[in-house]
Every structure is written in C-alpha cells, then in structure tokens.
Amino acid sequence: MIMSEQKVKNNDKDTKEDNSNTKSNDNSHGNRDRRTDRRTDRRTDRRTDRRRERKPEPEVVWTPRTRLGTLVQSGSVQSLDTIFQNGWKIKEYEIVNKLLPDIKSFVVHIGVVQKQTDAGESTRFKSVVAVGDETGWFGIGTGKKPQMKNAIDSATQNALLNIIPVKLGCGSWECRCGTNHSIPHRTIGRGGSVKIELIPGPKGLGLVAGETIRNLLALAGVKDVWSKSFGSTSTMPSVANAVYDSIRQLHGMSLQ
C-alpha cells in the first residue's frame, strides 16, 4: 500500500511538472507572438508615417525674366500667332504653357548615355519629347539629366521653346475640300540618316505611317496624310527630327 501511495504521489508530481512546463511554453509562445505583433505594428506605423510625410510639390509662381514674358503675363500678348508674326523669340517655356494650357506631350525615346571620367563612368538619361495641341502647334526637344524624370522634364521644356506653327490645308488632288485636315503640299524632312516624305491625302484617309510618326503627326494636328520613310528608322531621335523638319519645310515654297 505504501509503495502504491508513493507511486500515485510521484505521478501527481510529474503531471504537475508537465502542466507547468506546458504553461511556461504557452507563455513563451504568447510573449513571442506579442513581440512579433508589436514589431509589425511599429513597422506599419513607420511606413504610414513615411507616406504621410510625402507632400505634393508646391506650385512655383512664374516670374518673367524677359520683356516678352512680361507682356504675356500682363495680357498684352494673348496668342502665339502674334509672337510668330512679329518674329519674337521665345526664351521662356512658361510663355507657351500660359498661351496653350491644353498642350500635350509625348515621350518619343529614352536612352542611357555614359561618359568616362577620372572618377569613373558617369551615367545620364537622354530623352526626346514631342509637344503639340493637336490643332496646329508642334515642337521637339531633348534633355540629359542623371534622373529619368528630370531628363523628361528638361526635354519637355526644350520642346516648348522649339514650338512652331503647323501649316495645314488640303493639297490632295483627290479631295479639294478646302478644309485643314491635311498638308497643303508635299514635303521632305531629314534628320540624321532618316528621310521622311509627307504627301497630302484625301479626307477620311487617316495617317498612313508607322506608330511613332503617326503619334507625332497627330500631335501636330494632321489627320490625313501619306508618308514614306527612308534610312535607319529604328533610331527614334532621328525620326522625330525628320518629322519636325518636314513640318518646318511646309512654311517654304515647294518648287518640286
């Protein structure tokens, strides 16, 4: 009997120790879970704080630096036609943004340019951007910056400075409607090794050209035209410059 009582007591002690061990393990697991929860909460709080710290960039007030900019801001000059008729040169891109608030931009090409220096290789981004309002104004610009966004912004500003009027008309012998849906005569533009020829098309034809040339002509406001391209048309900057040159040639007299 005595031996049996001792066995029962020992069994009770073992069960109590097992229960205490399981409780301690549960407590340790619970503490670990709480710690991990606290860590995740802190991380989420830090992320939300970082997101909250980001504020929209304040709008920069334009202060004109040229006489033409002062005239545009005061309201004395209200259109780009007046500027080009008088032969004034645009030296501030804010002038175009002020007179053409609905102008659109199109990124033609983005590439990487590297230069070997004493400290190593310096890498910059080169971008080509086209701007236009789809009603008769068009420009091409380039920009180089260490960051892609800054390169696109620089190219956009340069394109606004290079904006020119597009001479629209109906030069197709198949149409003769007299509306400004095409170009008045055939023109040829060159950029690098690329040569692009634009031929007036009848109304309803559309833009018969590649994707890049089609997007550029749509920005310029041309709706119906035939096109021919020669040279290395895979070089997008040369294609953009050739289209710009062909549109600029519309203001000259066609003797061909």
For 163-203, the pLDDT digits (tens) are 999 999 998 888 888 889 999 999 999 999 999 999 999 99
Q: Do residues 139 and 162 make contact, with C-beta atoms less than 8 angstroms apart? A: yes
3-state secondary structure (DSSP) of residue 254: coil
Domains and CATH numbers, the chain: 63-99 (no CATH), 187-251 (3.30.230.10)
Q: Do residues 174 and 202 make contact, with C-beta atoms less than 8 angstroms apart? A: yes
3-state secondary structure (DSSP) of residue 148: helix
pLDDT recorded at residue 201: 93
Q: Do residues 137 and 164 make contact, with C-beta atoms less than 8 angstroms apart? A: yes
How confident is the model over 40-55, as a mean pLDDT?
Answer: 58
What pLDDT band is residue 120 in, cutting at 50, 70 and 90?
confident
Q: How far apart are CA 35 and CA 29, in angstroms?
A: 10
pLDDT recorded at residue 256: 45
Cα–Cα nearest to 223, from 169, 145, 185? 169
Q: How far apart are CA 237 and CA 109, in angstroms?
A: 7
- Written as six digits, the tokens of 20 are 């205490």
- Choose between 34 and 83: higher pLDDT: 83
Look at residue 22 and tell me whether its pLDDT is greater than 70.
no
Cα–Cα nearest to 113, from 149, 151, 141, 140? 151
Look at residue 2 and tell me whether its pLDDT is greater than 50.
no
pLDDT recorded at residue 255: 45
Q: Enumerate the H helices of the chain as residue ranges.
A: 2-53, 67-74, 80-86, 93-99, 148-161, 211-220, 236-248
What pLDDT band is residue 119 in, cutting at 50, 70 and 90?
confident
Look at residue 12 and tell me whether its pLDDT is greater than 60.
no
Q: What is the DSSP string of 28-64?
A: HHHHHHHHHHHHHHHHHHHHHHHHHH--PPPPPPP--
